[in-house]
Amino acid sequence: MFELFVAMLKEEWRVHSTMFGSLSFALFPVMIFGIAFMGAFLIPLMRTTLPAGNLTLIIHANYLMLGIMVGGFGLLGNEVMSRRFGQASFLSYSARSLPLSDRFIFTNFVIKDTVYYFFLWVFPFGFGYILASPFTGVSLARALLLLLTLTLSFLFGLCGVFFLSTVYARSRTVLWLVLLALGTGWGGFAAMTGMNPALFFPPMLLNSAFSWTNLLVSCAVLVILFAVAIVLFNPESVGSEKNYKDAFAPLMNRFSFLPHPPLAAKDTIDLYRSGSMIGQTIFSFLLPLAVIWFFLSLLGPFFPPHGLLFIFAITTGVVASTMYTWVTMFDSFGPYACLPVAVSTLITSKLTTFAVLQVIPAAFIAVVALLSGEAAYLVPAVVLGCSVSFYAVGVMAWLCGLSPNVLVYDVKVLFVYLVLVGIVLMVFTTAAFANPYYALSAVILVIPTWLLVQKAKTRWDAVDPAGF
Amino acid sequence: MTTVIEARDVSKSYGDVQAVNHVNLSVEKGALFGLLGPNGSGKTTMIKMLTGQTRPTGGTATVLGIDAEKDPVGVRGRVGIIPEQETPPSFLTAQEYLEFVAAVRKIPDIQKKADWWFEFLDFADKKNVLCKDLSRGTRQKLMFTQAFIHEPELALIDEPLINFDPIMQDLVKDYLAAYVKKGKTIFISTHILEVAEEICSGFAILHKGNLLHTGPVAELTARGEHLPSYFLSLVRKDRHV
Ligand SMILES: Nc1ncnc2c1ncn2[C@@H]1O[C@H](COP(=O)(O)OP(=O)(O)O)[C@@H](O)[C@H]1O
Ligand SMILES: [Mg+2]
């Protein structure tokens, strides 16, 4: 049934390209390619400040994180099958009227997504680097090796999270046990040897010294994780006619201090009942950040004292700003279209829910500050992280309204986003590096954030809402 | 007589597609007005423009004296709407969805009304089930309830009968006929011509975005013509030009 796979790939391309415009979308891999190509020329320059090994480390960590973010299929499995496909009658859904098992369709879907994101993100980067290699004096073999190890990094993230998310969907207790085992193993190793286990990340080892054994073992681990995840995937639970107790009225009363209590109550119920609240927190927030922390901590010696904490607070802020997608992703404008609700009202209400969710990153940064023995800088770090998160979400709301996914696929929009957020990141990293207490100045971001949100509201009220 | 809907030279194009083409329409208070047309003729687009869900690319639509383009939320606050695709939010129960609608529309004491509707459309046993787990027919019942629960002076309903069985269709037909007797107005899009002939007082025929005819149903009946055959001959003729 290779046809199903090819048809799904075509469909994915069409969905994205009609959503964002063929050109803008096709430019996306081109841009990644461009970044890698140009970036390759900067390497000698960067080497003067940062050893080459650390540069490859950062890139590998990025692709690992990318894999982690793409990999939550098991968590979203039923959601994807019943909602995304059910509503718009995509191929996966129509394929259900054919004599194919749900698991088979789902496997196809996962492989399709993997291949799709590989060509969208991983391949263009490796390719750009390869093309630049003759000019930068890097041997072709090394460039090819980088493509291979980046692909492995991406797949490690993807398969790892895919595995964990199917475990999560089956039993939360088992997931906690697995995470606990991994955590103790990791911590134990670090305590015993005094080394950061991230040093032994197989793709990194492979990158520094190629060996067939390592490659084979890596591939075997990936295949096993993937296969177990597919076996664990549970296609059941599409529609059970369960009775629920009325949660709406009490929640609305509790939210009476917010600007739009009924909308906030609805969002909360959505997040809770769809299982997104806990699942997303683990897989789109805690896990990527934990991984980043370990990789960043390898770079510690190259930062000024306390630099690591603030770099981490800023990264957390940027990742936390994507919580905006949690409240917008599984909602369409449909149910509001027949009610007296303006797009601007909805933006306000989604941002309010977002603001409430910021308790999670704030607590997270605080815990990291305490654990790393930098309690003195807890307040500036939390302020910096949260300010960055609110500012980034303001930019997102202004650029994309209620459809923040556009960000990832529309090159023009992404470019503006990167510039606007990038400048702020640079300014405040510099400030925090100079003196940890300067990080408090990030409070000033309240002003541009407020302006951006006002502009977002007028801008998105003036056009037809998407999603009809 | 007061005019509740007034469309002046309204057009809507999606790129090259002219979904609605310079349409003039007016609907009086108390009418049960049918918007008829084959698939893709622009009925849904017309209703979306009248309710401020999409902006016309030309002309003006005035509903209850409000310009639907300038104040879409104002229009939606006063009318009831059934959209073409039933889309109650997945993770609320039917009961919670009605509470949500009531809260947004600021209707007090919703429960008595909600219970009346659960009984009337015969889905009280489903009221605590999540919307995503409801059958199509039940979802349509919920969307119907949502549009009428605040007893709006005007309801714009897009193919409301399509997922109902014959018994339910009959019930709803009678409800609509009685509703306009109370001095309220209904604007219904449908391609079930027999139903339109039976209950509508006025009608309009759209084809490929063009208005082919508008007028009272009584005018046709007086000429001894039937709506279905009139509709077919008009549309077929238009197809050949
Ligand atoms: N959002 C849209 N984008 C592009 N074309 C559309 C859109 N909505 C409707 N159309 C086109 O407009 C025409 C009228 O559609 P519609 O109003 O849904 O007709 P009807 O409700 O009478 O079946 C069709 O040709 C349809 O393809
Ligand atoms: Mg229609």
Q: What is the Cα Rg of chain B in Å?
A: 18
Q: What is the pLDDT of residue A211?
A: 86
Q: What is the pLDDT of residue B106?
A: 93
Q: What is the pLDDT of residue A276?
A: 64
Domains of chain B: 3-87+153-239 (3.40.50.300)
Contact present, A408 and A349 (Cβ < 8 Å): no
Question: Cα(B6)–Cα(B62) distance, rounded to whole angstroms?
Answer: 5
For the CA atoms of B43, B47, B48, B49, what is the dihedral angle to 10 degrees?
Answer: 100
Q: Give the helix/strand (H/E) hosting B186.
A: strand B185-190
Q: How far is CA B80 from the centre of its chain?
A: 9
Question: Cα(A169)–Cα(A171) distance, rounded to whole angstroms?
Answer: 6
Q: Whose CA is nearest to atom 10 of ligand 1?
A: B19
Quick one: tokens of A27?
């430019």
Instruction: Work out the minimum CA distance from B99 to partner chain A, whole angstroms.
Output: 7
Q: Give the helix/strand (H/E) hosting B84.
A: none
Number of Cβ atoms within 10 Å of the Cβ of B61 = 24
Quick one: tokens of B91?
């993770």
Contact present, B76 and A339 (Cβ < 8 Å): yes
Q: What is the pLDDT of residue A97?
A: 58
Contact present, B205 and B51 (Cβ < 8 Å): no
Q: What is the DSSP letter of A437?
A: G
Q: What is the pLDDT of residue A90?
A: 42
Q: Residue holding tokens 């059934």?
A: B82
> Which residue, among B175, B185, B191, has the nearest Cα to B227 in the 3D structure?
B191
- Quote the Cα angle for A140-A68-A383, to 5°: 110
Q: How far is CA A135 from the centre of its chain?
A: 33
Q: What is the pLDDT of residue A46?
A: 57
Positions of chain A with pLDDT lower than 50, given as ranges? 80-93, 238-239, 468
Q: What is the pLDDT of residue A89?
A: 37
Q: What is the pLDDT of residue A39?
A: 63
Nearest atom (ligand 1) to Cα of B209: 14
Q: What is the DSSP letter of B33?
A: E
End-to-end CA distance of chain B: 37
Q: What is the pLDDT of residue A382?
A: 96
Q: How far is CA A454 from the centre of its chain?
A: 26
Question: Cα(B81)–Cα(B144) distance, rounded to whole angstroms?
Answer: 8
Q: Could you report the per-residue pLDDT of B203-230, keeping only the tens digit for each?
A: 999 999 999 999 999 998 899 899 999 9
Q: What is the pLDDT of residue A88?
A: 37
Positions of chain B with pLDDT lower than 70, given as ranges? 86, 241
Q: Residue holding tokens 């073992």?
A: A217
How far is ligand 1, taken at its centre, from the CA of residue B239, in Å? 18
Instruction: Work out the minimum CA distance from A406 to partner chain B, whole angstroms.
Output: 21
Sign of CA dihedral A137, A142, A147, A149: negative
Question: Cα(B134)–Cα(B126) distance, rounded to whole angstroms?
Answer: 8
Contact present, A308 and A270 (Cβ < 8 Å): no
Sign of CA dihedral A424, A426, A427, A428: positive
- Quote the Cα angle for A65-A12-A460, to 5°: 80
End-to-end CA distance of chain A: 33
Ligand 1 proximal residues by C-beta, below 6 Å:
B 14, 17, 19, 37, 39-45
Which strands form B79-82's sheet, in the order they lie side by side? B79-82, B154-158, B185-190, B32-36, B202-207, B210-216
Question: Cα(A127)–Cα(A40) distance, rounded to whole angstroms?
Answer: 11
Which strands form B66-67's sheet, in the order they lie side by side? B17-28, B3-14, B58-63, B66-67
Q: What is the pLDDT of residue A73?
A: 63
Q: Residue holding tokens 């490929």?
A: B208
Q: Is A263 exposed, middle or buried (0-12, 13-18, 19+ CB in 10 A)?
A: buried
Cβ–Cβ below 8 Å for B53 and A248: no
3-state secondary structure of B25: strand
> Which residue, among A331, A360, A222, has the nearest Cα to A273 in the 3D structure?
A331
DSSP string spanning A164-185?
Answer: HHHHHHH-HHHHHHHHHHHHHH
Q: How many CA atoms lie within 13 A of A249 on its CB side?
A: 11
Contact present, A157 and A222 (Cβ < 8 Å): no
Enumerate residues 6+ apart whose C-beta is below 8 A from A290. none
Cβ–Cβ below 8 Å for B91 and A241: no
Antiparallel, parallel or unpaired: β B58-63 and B210-216: unpaired
Measured between CB atoms, which of A245, A246, A340 is closest to B76? A340
Q: At CB < 8 Å, which residues of chain B contact A?
A: 48, 51, 53-55, 72-74, 76-77, 80-83, 85, 87-93, 95-96, 99-101, 103-105, 126, 128-130, 132-133, 146-147
Which residue type sits at A29? P
Question: Cα(B22)–Cα(B36) distance, rounded to whole angstroms?
Answer: 17
